[in-house]
Amino acid sequence: MTAVPEQQMSPTIRSVVVPVSDLDAVKAIYTALLGAPHTDQPYYVGYSADGFEVSLAAHGDVAGGPVAYADVDDLDAVRAGLLAAGATERSAPREVSPGARVCVLEDTDGNPVGLRGK
């Protein structure tokens, strides 16, 4: 059995990113459900659902479905542990804001596993 970094044992999932093809149409639905977004840009719309982040990402991989992101302290270590355990990479780590990176892996059934960290 492959050792998994301790960080992976209790990650905090605080956000989900929903890829959309028509941001305005989908935004109307989520605004009706969650209220006014806290961020409303042509490429990204963000809502807070009682502290949980629901994000709409324009031009995302709609076929890949929504991705829940686990917040981790060491993205590279957790990513390596998941890859060693059999996950595959859907998207390599990339910086999304200063000091914050994300990547998406897939489990053995092709389900997305998002990581967000340093």
- Look up the CATH superfamily of 10-117: 2,3-Dihydroxybiphenyl 1,2-Dioxygenase, domain 1 (3.10.180.10)
Q: pLDDT tens for the chain, 118 residues: list them.
A: 455 544 445 789 999 999 999 999 999 999 999 999 999 999 999 999 999 999 999 987 888 899 999 999 999 999 999 999 999 999 999 999 898 999 999 999 999 999 999 9
pTM of the predicted structure, to 2 decimals? 0.83
Q: Name the strands in the sheet holding 100-106, side by side, starting at the edge strand that comes first in the sequence.
A: 39-41, 44-49, 52-58, 12-20, 67-72, 112-117, 100-106, 88-97
Domain boundaries, the chain: 10-117
